[in-house]
Amino acid sequence: MGIAFLHGMILSIGLILPLGPQNLFIFNQGATHKKLLNAMPAVITASLCDTALILLAVMGVSAAVLAIPGLQVFLLVCGFVFLLWIGQSIWRAKPEHASAVDETLSMKKQVLFALSVSVLNPHAVLDTIGVIGTSSLRYESLSEKAMFALACIAVSWLAFCLLAAAGKTVRAIDKRGTWLVLVNKVSAICIWAMALLIGAQLVQIIF
C-alpha cells in the first residue's frame, strides 16, 4: 500500500506542476483578494472537482462515459467557450488595493469559474482519465487503489492551497498593486492561448 501511495503522490505532482488554466486561476485568486480566506471558494471547488475526477478515473467510470460518441467534442466546445470567458473576466478584474471599487470575483463567480476550468477543461479531464486512470490499473486490491487515489487527492488539495498562498505572497510584496495587475493580464493571455489550442484541436477533430 505504501508503494501505491508514493506512486500516486509522485504522479500527481508531475501532473500538477505544469501551469494550466486551473492552476493559473487559483494563483490569480490568491493574488487578487485582500485575504487568503476570500480565495477559498475557488480552492475548495477546484479541489472537490479534482477529487471527483480522480475517484471516477480510478473506478473506471470516466473512461466509460467518455466512450460516448460526441462527448469529447462537446467538452472541447464548452472548454473553449468558458476559457475565453474566464480570460476576459480575469483581464478586466482589478486587485482590491489597486482600485477604489472592488472588482474581484465574487464567491459565486469563483465557484462557477473554478468548476468550469476543472470539469470543462478537456485536457485536465483526459489527463485524469488517461494518466491517473490507466496508472491505477496496475493495482488489483481495493486497498491499494484507495491508497493510490488518496495520494492523488491529497496532492491536489495541497497544491491548490499552496498556489493560492503563493498568489497571496505576491500580493503582500506588491504594495502598489502593479505586479497584481500584470499577473491578471499574463493569466488572461495564458488562458486565452490554451483556449486557442483547444480550438485548434476541435477543428482537427471536426474537419
pLDDT at 98 (0 to 100): 44
Any residues with CB less than 8 A from the CB of 165 and at least 6 apart, and which?
30, 36
In 3-state terms, what secondary structure has residue 104? coil
Cα–Cα distance, 206 to 203 (Å, whole number): 5
pLDDT at 99 (0 to 100): 42
Residue 146 Cα distances to 94, 103, 197, angstroms: 42, 42, 34
Cα–Cα distance, 120 to 195 (Å, whole number): 11
Residue 154 Cα distances to 12, 77, 147, angstroms: 9, 30, 10
pLDDT at 175 (0 to 100): 65
Write out the three cell numbers for 28: 490569480
Neighbours of 4 (CB within 10 A): 21
Write out the three cell numbers for 105: 470575483
CB contact at 8 A, 163 and 30: yes
Report pLDDT digits (tens) over 169-198: 887 886 666 777 777 787 788 778 878 877
pLDDT at 62 (0 to 100): 58
CB contact at 8 A, 110 and 28: no
Report pLDDT digits (tens) over 60-90: 765 666 667 677 777 778 778 877 887 887 7
In 3-state terms, what secondary structure has residue 196? helix
pLDDT at 129 (0 to 100): 72
pLDDT tens for the 207 residues of the chain, in order: 678 888 888 888 887 776 677 888 898 888 888 888 999 999 999 999 999 989 988 887 656 666 676 777 777 787 788 778 878 877 876 655 444 334 567 888 889 888 888 887 766 776 677 678 778 878 878 888 899 999 999 999 999 999 999 988 887 886 666 777 777 787 788 778 878 877 887 788 777
Per-residue three-class SS string for 120-185: CCHHHHHHHHHHHHHHHHHCCCHHHHHHHHHHHHHHHHHHHHHHHHHHHHHHHHCCCCHHHHHHHH
pLDDT at 159 (0 to 100): 93
Per-residue DSSP letter, 19: -
pLDDT at 149 (0 to 100): 92
